[in-house]
Structure formats: C-alpha cells, structure tokens
A and B are shown apart, each in its own frame.
Chain A
Amino acid sequence: MNTMLFKWSVALIASFTCVIQSAHALDIRSWETSNGVKVLFVESHELPIVDVRMTFKAGSSRDGTLYGLSRLVNSLLVEGTGKYSAEDIALTFESTGSEQSHDSLRDMAWVSLRSLSDQTLLDKTSDLFARVVALPSFPQDAIDRDRQSMLVSLANRKTRIADVVEDAFFHHVYRDHAYEVGSHGSEETLKSITQQDLIDFHTRYYVAKNANLSLVGDLTMEQARQYAEQLTRYLKPGKSAEPIAAASPAPSAKTINIPFKTSQTHIMQGMPILSRKDPDYYALYVGNHILGGSGFSSRLMQEIRENRGLSYSVYSYFMPMENSGPFEMALQTKNHQAEEATALLQKLLTDFIDNGPNEDELDHARKNITGGFPLKIDSNKKIVDYLAVIGFYDLPLDYLDNFNANILAVTRSDIQDAFKRRVKPNNMVRIIVGGES
C-alpha cells in the first residue's frame, strides 16, 4: 500500500547535490545469546518501535561457483517454514503492522523486522521470525518460482546500461575473486542449483556463530535479552564463515569498451582497495570526500558538472568491504563528450594523487564530516543500520564515539601518503559503455 509519502512515479526529480561531539555517541550494550549469537542493543523509549536486523556472512561472496545461490536462499526464507506457508508467514507479520524485509549482497545477508513495541505483538512474531531464519523448508515450487524470477531479472540486466557497467566493472576488477559475480548470479549456475544446494548453503551459513543481531528501540535491557533469545532460539551453533581473501589489482591499466545503444555513455573506473578495518580507512575516507565523495564541494563535481556541465552525476567512492572493497569513480555524459570526460576524470584523479588536497579543502572536509555527524544517527532506522555494520564487521563498539576524532586526526600528508600507496592509476580498470554519437 502506498502512503502519500512514497510516490511511486518518477515525478520527484532531485537536484542531486550530493560539531557536536558527545562523549558517547550511542550507548551500545552487547552480549551473546545462549547459543552464541552476538547482540548489539541501543535502548530508546521515545517511540514505541523496535527494529531488528539479523545479519549473516552469507552473501554472494560465499556462492563458490554456484553464482546466485546466496540470493536464492535468502529469498526463499519467507517461502515456508514448518507448517507455515509463504502466505501464513506474510500474514502473521503484516496483520500486526510489522514490516519484514530481507536481502543479500556480496558480504552480508540479512533479515529485518520493524514492529510496534507492545509485548503481545512482539510475542506474536518473534517465534515466526526465529523459524524463518533458522528452519526454512525450501518448497520446490517456490524454488522454481524464485529461480525463474532471478533469471528474468538477469535477462533484463543485460538491457540496462547501469547494470551492464556495474557487472563489467566487478567482472574485470575482481576476476576470479569471490566478489566477481554479484548476488544476481548467472544464468547457467542458477539453472543448476538444486534443493540440496540450498539446504547445504543454509546449513553452513545461517548459524549462530556466523550471525549478528542488532536491536534498537523501546525495550528494557531485560526485554531485549529475552527477545534476542527468542529470535535466535532455533539457530544451530555452527561455525563462522572463512575470511574473504584479498583481491589483486589488475597488473596493468586496462580499458574495456562495450558498445551499447544509448545516447549517453557511462564510464566507471577503479580497483580493489578498502577493507572495513583498513589502517588507511580514515585517510582515504577524508581524501575521497574531497576528491568526489561530498557532492557539490568535491573536485569531481566542481570540474565536471559545475564548471563544464558534462554530467549530472559524477562521484568517487571507496566501498568498505570485508576485504579489498572497490574504489570507484563514475560519470555519465552524452556520447560525443565521452572522450573529453574520460580524460578529465583521469586527470583529476592523477592530480589528486600527485598533489593531494590543499589546506582549505581539508578544513572544509573536516567541518562537513564532523559537523554532520549527528545526522548519521538521528533515527532508530539509522542506528540499527550502524549497529548491523559494527556487529557484522566486528568494529570496535566505540567506533562512532571516536569517529570525529579519527577524522580530525587526518592530515594532508596522511591523505597524500595513503593515496600514493594505495590508489594506482596503472592498475585500474576502466569500463566505458556507450554508443556512437
């Protein structure tokens, strides 16, 4: 059902522009459930809401050669458990007004629930949530249906330029690495997945020692403990997933041109770099903010969009992942400007690596990042997102408390040093998907 807020159409056109340091950003409590699931909890009684996110190291990086397996498993969780059909599951959540969701990406798979905090309502849904994550029945008709849906989706990916760029980028940047193929999988492997494959994957990865649980909202500590026990009760102990190996950058720079029927060329370049616990994390974060991560203030936006009108969206980004997440720079421009834009993007990158930011830029970035800190955690939803990341990537509990101090400690030479060591134009992959003008 659509509320007034979520206008379904494309009518909303965003213009795309893309301080307060308290001693304790968030009061995060942590403990383990009796079967070994790590829990993070932030108590908040201002609204009668409880947010749950249970994460597993069960993303597409665990597919092995059965690309698509992780996403299929995740989507099938709500298709049946024990005597509950897909409809029973949906109705139990929805008839209480609860919002259940789930998805999987490369690192993380998750199941979420947002409920009103009344104990009777929580009791109505907690057992079912626990069954959905731990005891899926994988009915054959649902397997066939969800597989079909993924196959249709894959076929459509090939016709969408943004997906073609993304798939080519990951294919070339992460050749033979667990991150190469995303959760959408591949046609051949999807067709070969059996019910046993799904069961085996689930048995291996949807287990207590491979799980993290985040809770935010209107619960007392005691209620949170009990709720966490209920939600995790059916998970077998199991083992944590193996660590993801580092990805090697390309031995030399390469450009892949993919012809496509389009009036606008998409350009994306990058290489594997950033891990969540990377010692260079903050230097690269602040540096990227200046280069292309801060919307209108960034160099890329200034030069490419503001000064030359070449692109509507241009950015750079380090995606922090379990191991060597991608550094990406991207823009889209009409076909006959593609050459000019590509050259300019490269020049802006090499200038930044060679010379680093100036003092004004660093000052500006510090103000923007630290001054905007309260906006990161100004809703229960944002807080549960952070807890999920902190728990999943095993970040220190004072990650948010120390965030601003870590940002302020980064100097110009830190940025220049980190970029010179880690960001290598000679090892970058560039994807150009475009047409004749």
Chain B
Amino acid sequence: MKLKLLWALACIAVLPAHAKTVETVLDNGMKVIVREDHRAPVVVSQVWYRIGSTYEHDGISGVSHVLEHMMFKGTKSLKPGEFSEIIAANGGRENAFTSRDYTAYFQQIASDRLEICLKLEADRMRNVVFLADEFKKEVAVVQEERRWRVDNKPKSQLFEQFYATAFLTSPLRIPTIGWMNDLENLQMEDASLWYQKWYAPNNATLVIVGNVNSDEVFRLANQYFADIKPSVIEPPKPRPEIAQTGERRINLYGQTSSPYLLMGYKAPVLSTLKDNIKDIYAMDVLSGILDGGNSARVAKKMLRGEEIAVEAGTSYDPFDRLAGLFIFAGTPNEGITPQRLEQAFISEIRDLQENPVTQQELERVKAQVIARKVFDQDSTFNLGMQIGMLDSVGYDYKLLDTYVDNVRRVTAEDVQRVARQYFDKNKLTVATLWPEEEIGNK
C-alpha cells in the first residue's frame, strides 16, 4: 500500500470535534475522568480500584477477586444482592472484573439514571458488610469458577503454570483467580482487611463515558464521593523479577487431542523503559507484522504456507504495569510436533532480526492502527475500558491520543532493533501441553 493512502487514511480518521476527555481530582484524591458521547442516550460508569493479583502474595492469592464478589453481598444499607436488583430495576446492565493490576465495577444504563450508580458505588466503597454465611457461599462459587475456567481446561492450566515459571519473584506469577489451595483456606478476615487496606477514594478512578455533561458529572461525583475520607495507601513492596539468564521449559499432560505451545520472552512496558520509550511501539508493530490478520506473516507462512499450525499468534501489551512477556502461541497441525512449531517461530524471529521488514508490511500495520482508533469510538464501554486500564496502572490516559502517531513513527530499523534486543533465548520460557497418553517425544 502506498504512503499516499496511509496519509489519506490519517486525514479521514480525524475524530469529531467534541470528542474530548476531561478530568478532575476530588479533594480526597479520587480521580474522575469523563468523556462525552452523545450518539445514544446511555452512559457507562466504571469505578476502577488500583488493586489486583499483582498486589497479592502466596497464601492469599485470589483475595482481590473474592473481594470483588463480596462487593455485591451487602452494605450497611443494602441487603446481599440488592445492589444488582436496584441497577436491574433501573434497566441497567452491570458486572465487574478483577485483573492483575485493577478491579473494576461498571454499569451501563440510560444516561438519566447515572446518579443511582454513583450513589451505590460510593456506598460500597466504604460500607460493605462481610457476613460469614455469604462469604462461605461466595468462596464456593469462586472455586466453581476456577474449576470451570482453569482446572478442567488444560490450556488454561498451561497458561497459569507458564506465568508462574516465567516469573519467579514478580507477582505476575500469581493467578488472578487464585490457587485452589489458597481459595480453600481463605478467611473472611483476609477479604475484609484487604478491603480496608485498598478500597479508598484516593486509590480509585471514576470513568464515565456517554450521554452526559461533564460539569454535571463532576458535580455528582463531588456530591456522592467527596465526603469519603482518603486512606493512607502503602504501596506494596517492590518485587522486581530477577534477571533471567537461561531458558526455562515446562511440560504439562492433559486432556487434549493436539499439543499446544506457549513461548514467552521477557518484554518491556512503558514504565520499565527510560530512554527507549519507542521500543514499546516498535514491539507493538512487530506483533502486528507477525499476527495482524490473514496477510500477516504467521497466517501467510505458518498457517497457509508450510501448514505448520492450525492456529498461531502473538500477544504483547505495551501498557501493562509490570514488565511482562511477548508471547508466541499455537496449536501444531496434525503430524507436526510442538518442537517443529517452536522452530518455526524461532525462524520468524531470526528473519526479523536479520532482515528489515518491508514498507508494505509497515504500512499495513499502521493503516490498521489508524482505522482501529476510529472503530474504537463506536463503543462507549471500550472507550471507558481503555481509559481505565491506562489510568489504573499509573499511566496517563492521554497516551491514547498519541498512540497512533507513535506507531506511525516506527521504522523498519526500529523493528529490527527490538527483535535483536528482546528475543534472546536466555530470556525465553517455553510451556508445552501434551495429550495425556503421550509421554516424551512424538
């Protein structure tokens, strides 16, 4: 694709004039970020707490997620389940999720009902009541959740153990759902202490996207949250990952017909780079060169060309809080060993290290990034997610505005440079899932 088309794309992809995001910080330290979007009479309201599994330690793994469940189980003024009942009666949809670095609670509702969401969220920020009976049932539910998500899904087990192998000292090794043993031994006091410690206005951000007036939202936020006193939030002890100076490998046998391969190289994120911030955008582009659709290298050479894999891809997040992994994953085709698949990925890496990528590929990736930025505007929920995910790990959400330009600046030399720097076999962890009946090599 010609540069001219790319330039044309960039001109088209200019956002509507009113599309801007504004923020304020309440006196108690709570951040409020609002983006007006008047396309539909709805709003998404999200409260993001800066707490997740990377703040946990062995023995209480999964506590952030269990606490998330408990947030629906009653406050001083609400019975268990009443929160959800009220939102439902107002025509709202709601849910919550816990991740490695944050726990977020959201409602999607007609925009004239925003106030009830804020009132209820303010209430449960401080007033959750822990009842022994409710806690016991909810931990049982989370154990079923673990059985459903992980224990009976060998690929999920592989992933969990892969992370715990790649990361020895970093809290990234802790599964967000929690180890089953920890869930079985979790006490109500563990959850309530966690709540006291981390749930505070100065450890939270309210993100609102939709058919609202930002000044009105700030007024409501003040009305409902300003009286909540801040806590002293003690940051967790730093737990950097020790330098990896040699490859690590694990094998897992499970109920599967095909093997499955995970490879992870230690990768930078925004917070770990001082001088070479552009590295993260180059890595992101590299990921797109490999796995950015059916014309990308993995599909072209590994799925179609040599038919080595039935599915394969890469994964990388430049904006994670803690330095993570650049991941290669795939299912080998019938008659292909996971070792062969691994060699194919290594071969792709070598190609990236030895030969600059083509202009055509770079333009394709950039065109996709430009277009995707526009497509992202279609979903208020996704916009809220993007803002919350950046803010909750300590990044400026305005990175969303500079993202496209930063990607557009990436050159073939940049991609080659990061391929050489970060795909070092001494920084690699490999995890292989084997069908149960097979022991050792095929």
Interface residue ranges, A against B (CB under 8 Å)? 1-5, 7-20, 44, 46-49, 78, 86-87, 89-91, 93-99, 114-118, 120-121, 142, 145, 148-149, 151-153, 155-156, 158-161, 261-264, 294-297, 302, 305-313, 332-334, 364, 367-375, 377-381
Output the residue of B150, B156, B291, B367 with the most chain A CB within 10 A: B367
Interface size on B, residues (CB 8 A): 111
Given known A-B contacts A1-B368, A13-B149, A13-B177, A377 and B40 have beta carbons under 8 A apart? yes
B366-401 Cβ-contact flags toward A at 8 Å (1 or 0)? 011111101111111010011001100000000000
User: Chain A residues near B313 (CB, 8 Å)?
Assistant: 8
Number of residue pairs spanning A and B whose beta carbons lie under 8 angstroms apart? 283
Output the residue of A11, A99, A148, A369 with the most chain B CB within 10 A: A11
Residue B100, interface by CB 8 Å: yes
User: Chain B residues near A297 (CB, 8 Å)?
Assistant: 84-85, 88
Interchain nearest-CB distance for B31 vs A (Å)? 19
B380/A378 in contact, CB under 8 A: yes
Q: Which of B84, B315, B374 is the one whose CB lies under 8 Å from A9?
A: B315
Q: Which of A11, A99, A261, A302 is the one whose CB lies under 8 Å from B375?
A: A99
B148/A332 in contact, CB under 8 A: yes
Bound-state CA distance A121–B6 (Å) is: 11
B92/A98 in contact, CB under 8 A: no
| Apart from A47-B377, A120-B5, 6 more pairs, CB < 8 Å | A1-B369, A2-B291, A4-B389, A118-B9, A364-B88, A378-B40
Given known A-B contacts A1-B365, A374-B42, A152 and B149 have beta carbons under 8 A apart? no
Which of the candidate stretches B136-144, B212-220, B242-250 sits at the interface with the other chain? Answer: B136-144
Bound-state CA distance A2–B328 (Å) is: 12
Output the residue of A145, A307, A367, A378 with the most chain B CB within 10 A: A378
User: Chain B residues near A261 (CB, 8 Å)?
Assistant: 255
Q: Which of A118, A142, A302, A311 is the one whose CB lies under 8 Å from B141?
A: A311
Q: Which of B92, B256, B375 is the one whose CB lies under 8 Å from A156?
A: B256
User: Chain A residues near B12 (CB, 8 Å)?
Assistant: 48, 116-118, 121
- 23 A–B contacts, CB within 8 A, in A order: A3-B372, A15-B96, A49-B378, A87-B294, A89-B294, A91-B364, A99-B375, A120-B5, A152-B331, A160-B153, A262-B152, A263-B147, A302-B81, A305-B141, A309-B140, A332-B144, A332-B148, A334-B143, A371-B113, A372-B92, A372-B93, A373-B91, A380-B378
Given known A-B contacts A10-B149, A371-B92, A5 and B364 have beta carbons under 8 A apart? no
A152/B1 in contact, CB under 8 A: no
The dominant DSSP class at the B interface is helix
B295/A118 in contact, CB under 8 A: no
A20/B41 in contact, CB under 8 A: yes
Interchain nearest-CB distance for B366 vs A (Å)? 9
Bound-state CA distance A152–B330 (Å) is: 13
Bound-state CA distance A334–B5 (Å) is: 56
Interchain nearest-CB distance for A318 vs B (Å)? 19
Q: Which of A4, A116, A369 is the one whose CB lies under 8 Å from B371?
A: A116
Given known A-B contacts A9-B315, A155-B257, A94 and B39 have beta carbons under 8 A apart? no
User: Chain A residues near B176 (CB, 8 Å)?
Assistant: 11-13
Output the residue of A15, A87, A155, A159 with the most chain B CB within 10 A: A15
A379/B379 in contact, CB under 8 A: yes
Bound-state CA distance A368–B113 (Å) is: 13
User: Chain B residues near A11 (CB, 8 Å)?
Assistant: 53, 99-100, 176
B89/A368 in contact, CB under 8 A: yes
Given known A-B contacts A13-B176, A86-B294, A380-B378, A334 and B147 have beta carbons under 8 A apart? yes
Bound-state CA distance A379–B333 (Å) is: 38
A17/B16 in contact, CB under 8 A: no
B389/A12 in contact, CB under 8 A: no
Interchain nearest-CB distance for A86 vs B (Å)? 6
